[in-house]
Homo-oligomer: A and B are copies of this chain.
């Protein structure tokens, strides 16, 4: 087991993991994922950075643990976009999205969304997830076919977050009871439009 060197005082305590998560959460919230280093989080938690790696793995993994997300959406999004490219991407994204949310992780995802929407201090969870994981993934896969990915992604996010609200929080009918195919077919074209509409004039 890797032990903290800088601050031996805390290294053996059973709440070390909790202290790392608390420090990470506060720093991600206040300064953003990109600008916070593992070293910084270690200093804040009073542990050696190697201990963070030992407990949580990469900074990506630490972020997902800090926001208590039960699964990382990035690999799923990457797979869906790679397999088929831009053509019909909206329908495939919707299908993947609804399948995950209707599945066993749905309740936990809903808890994350609810807490992020309820308090201003918690909105960093979804915002960082969006900016750090989603945009980056879409850029990696479609960056050579689609311009201004972050701008387009903000419109796509508006439709996707709205679906979470309408289907899983408010349970508006018939939207809440529709099957995967029906949702993919009706909402997919909205995503496709946001992926392809002229957008240069909106990006300063």
Chain A contact residues, CB within 8 Å of chain B: 114-119, 123, 126-127, 130-131, 150-151, 153-155, 157-163, 165-167, 169-176, 178, 182, 186-187, 189-190, 193-194, 197, 199, 201-204
Contact = CB atoms under 8 A, between A and B. Distances in A.
A158 B165 contact: yes
B189 A173 contact: no
Given A186-B202, A189-B193, A158 B169 contact: no
Nearest to A130: B172
Contact of A118 (B114, B131, B197): B114
A33 to B, nearest CB: 14
Contact of A117 (B118, B186, B204): B118
Contact of A158 (B116, B157, B159, B203): B159
25 contacts: A114-B117, A114-B118, A115-B118, A117-B165, A118-B118, A123-B170, A130-B170, A150-B173, A150-B174, A154-B173, A154-B175, A155-B187, A157-B162, A158-B159, A158-B166, A158-B167, A158-B175, A159-B162, A159-B190, A161-B161, A161-B162, A161-B165, A162-B165, A186-B194, A186-B202
Nearest to A204: B174
Nearest to A190: B190
B162 A174 contact: no
A174 B158 contact: no
Most buried by B among A161, A178, A197: A161
